[in-house]
Structure 1
Amino acid sequence: MRRTVLERFPAGGPRGSRPAEEFAAARRGEGMAAEVVMDLEQDAFLVVVPQQPTDGGH
């Protein structure tokens, strides 16, 4: 499954701070299927949504 990155957040935030989770929750409140994943290579949390097909079913 392909996904689109909406936002990136550094993994080294202050203890107890979860900006990626808060951002994803706000997007879910808007009806988006947002989730948080970890990019280990960049040491960052990504908020992603499933990519919608745009080619008419090909």
Structure 2
Amino acid sequence: MSTAVYSPAEEAARLAAQGPVRTRKPSRPQRTVLERFPAGAPRGSWPAEEYAARQRREGRSVDVVMDLASDSYLVIEAGS
């Protein structure tokens, strides 16, 4: 099997036909943080989950996620 050799014009046309090259990471959607709780709550205490449950009873769709960089739990709007 031989390797194709392209002229500079052919190489440019071939690369142009491939379309744009992604040069940066896709951005993550922005999240709306409703409340933030430190991860060091006393044993048996779940303040982020309790807050999220109150928000859900009020009809808001929320999730609890861990932010490892700040060592805290975030209550965010679901799907955001």
TM value normalised by structure 1: 0.81
Q: Report which of the two has the higher share of helix.
A: 2
In proportion to residue count, which structure has more strand? 1
Structure 1 segments of 4 or more deviating over 4 A?
none
Runs of 5+ consecutive residues of structure 1 not aligned to the other structure: 52-58
Q: Distance in 1 between matches of 2:59 and 2:30?
A: 19
Which residue among 55, 69, 73 is the counterpart of 1:27? 55
CA root-mean-square deviation: 1.1
Q: Which residue of 2 aligns with 1:37?
A: 65
Identity %: 61
Gaps of 5+ in 2: 1-28
TM-score where L is the length of structure 2: 0.60
In the alignment of these two chains, the number of paired residues is 51
What's the counterpart of residue 56 of structure 1? none
Give the structure with higher Rg (CA): 2
Greater relative CO (CA pairs within 8 A, separation 6+): 1
